Homo-oligomer: A and B are copies of this chain.
Amino acid sequence: MATRKMLTDAEASPEARAVFDDIRAKRKTDFVNNAWRALAHDPETLKATWEKAQRVMGPGTLDPLTKELVYLAVSISNKCEYCIHSHTAFAKAKGLTETQYNEFLRVIALANELNATMTAIGTPVDEVFKA
């Protein structure tokens, strides 16, 4: 259920289609997922987002799987159904095992439990934790 049509290749502008083609080339697959088809209504944003995503999520001083899990943790917290499903799949594609996923879910559960409790009590930040 969407507020906009997911654009097919035929419906996308040449600028948007060029991004679709770059996604296909870089990912070595013919499949372009809905996130990009949703963004294609605004080709400039589509292009900027695709370039930023490659830059931010690619290898760096943090490994790609760690980045993927951070992204997924945010997506779960933001209750973004699309993002939860796509980034769980991406994490598995980057090597996340079933056991690691179980551990990840335990961290998510613990953080949410304690975040809520600390917020409820209004626990003051210890001096040693301040910059």
Question: Is A13 part of the contact surface with B, judged by Cβ < 8 Å?
Answer: no
Docked complex Cα distance between A72 and B5 (Å): 19
**How near does chain B come to A5, taking the closest CB pair, in angstroms?**
6
Known: A105-B117, A120-B105. A111 touches B2 (CB 8 A): no
Name A125's contact: one of B71, B85, B112 (CB within 8 Å).
B85
Q: Which residues of A contact B (CB under 8 A)?
A: 1-6, 31, 33-35, 38-39, 41-42, 45, 49, 52-53, 56-57, 60-62, 65-67, 69-71, 73-86, 88-89, 97-100, 102-126, 128-131
Known: A74-B73, A100-B62. A34 touches B126 (CB 8 A): yes
**How near does chain B come to A108, taking the closest CB pair, in angstroms?**
5
Q: Top 8 nearest A-B pairs by Cβ distance?
A: A77-B77, A74-B111, A73-B73, A80-B115, A112-B116, A113-B113, A85-B129, A78-B115
Asked if B112 contacts A76 (CB within 8 A), the reply is no
